[in-house]
Amino acid sequence: MLARHDLAAARSLLFVPADRPERFSKAAACGADGVVLDLEDAVAPHAKSAARDAALGFLADQAAEALWLLRINHFNTGAGLADLLALRNARCLPAAVVLSKVESAADVDVAVAHLHGGGSAAPIVALIESSRGLEAAARIAAHPAVHALALGGADLAADLGAEMAWEPLLFARSRIVQAAAASRIPAWDVPFLDLHDGAGLERESAAVKALGYRAKLAIHPAQVETINAAFSPTPSQVEHAQRVLAASERAAGGVCVVEGKMIDQPVILAAQRTLQLARRLQADQHNRLAGSLPA
């Protein structure tokens, strides 16, 4: 897993039901950049209280250095209010709180007001899961507490009366990634639901990366490797980025050309992002190898 401050570098975020604590450590070992302990859809109403205790107890026992996230219920439910109160009094906050069904910046304000009551607050990942949320995506992304936008595709498709497929959700995906880009935060794509269609997951991961998404949510450990591969810079992309930045430095702000193409500021910024991600992933791999070596 990535360090808790590397939220922007995440490629894969694996959901784990918070009422299955025996899966928490296994999820951390599967290669996902981050793990989302889920108190919402994955947990039945009668099990939410025990799941909340299990998740917060687990977080309190961790070194708190890894990218552990917590998805909470919406605050218009009793379970959501209980989630916020528990976080307010928690000994250890997750690296980020995933807010379900965000429909306005005011929703974020309410959550932050509760969370700040405890003296500190985790960054917010806002899930866009309705037509109202989609309409307000730019304002939600601009909220200073929001560090990522995520597409909740199944609920959004149901609200739109659309099929959860590529073409019907293309506009929504594009709108979310544009809103996120305008506020310089990452956009995360919806999980791929067919666990038996590895080729479909690979195609969709490549397609959303091309659209501008930085990561994809996962619902099974078997999906993580494919997602990580899709969102990782390839050696050729890293080499190209290095050539772009070297040419830009030589040009000292002037016009430069790499491989027959003129290099302007957006291309330079993209090259910088590629190298930053490559360095973060290399550091994470080094840390994992160091941790696996005998003392």
Q: What is the pLDDT of residue 36?
A: 97
Got the DSSP string for 65-84? -B-EEEEE--TTSHHHHHHH
pLDDT digits (tens, 9 = 90+) for 143-192: 999 999 999 999 999 999 999 999 999 999 999 999 999 999 999 999 99
pLDDT digits (tens, 9 = 90+) for 2-27: 888 889 989 999 999 999 999 998 99
Q: What is the pLDDT of residue 242?
A: 87
Q: What is the pLDDT of residue 293?
A: 43
Which residue numbers in the chain have pLDDT < 50? 293-295
Torsion of CA 108, 109, 114, 115, to 10 degrees: 60
Q: What is the pLDDT of residue 295?
A: 42
Q: What is the pLDDT of residue 57?
A: 93
Q: Taking every pair of C-alpha atoms in the chain, what is the biggest distance, in angstroms? A: 64
Domains located in the chain, CATH noted: 7-231 (3.20.20.60), 235-292 (no CATH)
Helices 198-211 and 224-231, packing angle to 10 deg: 30
Q: What is the pTM (predicted TM-score) of this model?
A: 0.87
Q: What is the pLDDT of residue 288?
A: 61
